[in-house]
Structures are given as C-alpha cells and as structure tokens.
Amino acid sequence: MTDDQLTDRVTDRDRRTYRIISRTGFVAAPAMFFLPLLVPMFSVGYQSWPIICMTAAFAVLVSASSFAAMASTPPDENPGKHQLWAVPVAVFALLPGAVLSSGLYLTVVSLLSQAAATAPG
C-alpha cells in the first residue's frame, strides 16, 4: 500500500468521524435546549442549571456545524481550518443564547407559578 492510499484511508476515516460527531451534535443541541424546560414542571421555583444547559446548546450547535463543514472539506484542503471560525463563533453565540435561554426559562417558570397560584384547591 502506498503512502497516498494510506493517507486517503485516514482522511476518509476522519471525515466519517466528523459526520458522526456533527449528527450527534445536531441531535444533542435541541435536546439540551428543550428538555430543561421540563424541569419547572417537576421542581419548585427557579433553578440555574437548566439555563446553563440551554445556553451551552448554542455552542454545541456551532460545534456541530463546524464538524459538518470539516466532513465536507475537499480532499486537498485541511479540515481543521474550520475550527478557526468555530471557536470564536461558539463563544459569541453564548451571549444571545444566554439571553434567549433565560427569557424562555423564566417565562415557563412564571407561567407555571401563575397556574399553580390560580388552581382551585
């Protein structure tokens, strides 16, 4: 086996791994965002960890996008170049992610509190 064939096999294996990671990220990010909204239904009041989890979902989504881009990089280019844009974008995505996550979570907590206060019994 020549070095070129070995390099092609390694590159194909890496691209397959990037696809698996990106698909996992595209499934995990929505789960990380929406599942914590169930927490106020089973616990009383405000908790901070669901907001942290929901905010991190935005960084996971950016990372999954980066791995998807790495998987589709042409064979003659370095797939690692996508990490150069993914890291700052993921960090930047945390601010609007935190605002959206906090607002949505606090809205759910408020609505559930109001419903519990007005419930008969």
pLDDT tens digit sequence for 37-73: 999 888 877 888 999 999 999 999 999 999 898 888 8
Type and span of the H or E element at 31: helix 3-34
Report the percent of the chain where pLDDT is more than 90: 43
* Domain ranges for the chain: 3-118
Predicted TM-score of the model (pTM): 0.80
In a 3-state reduction of DSSP, which class is residue 87?
Answer: helix
Instruction: Give the DSSP letter of residue 120.
Output: -
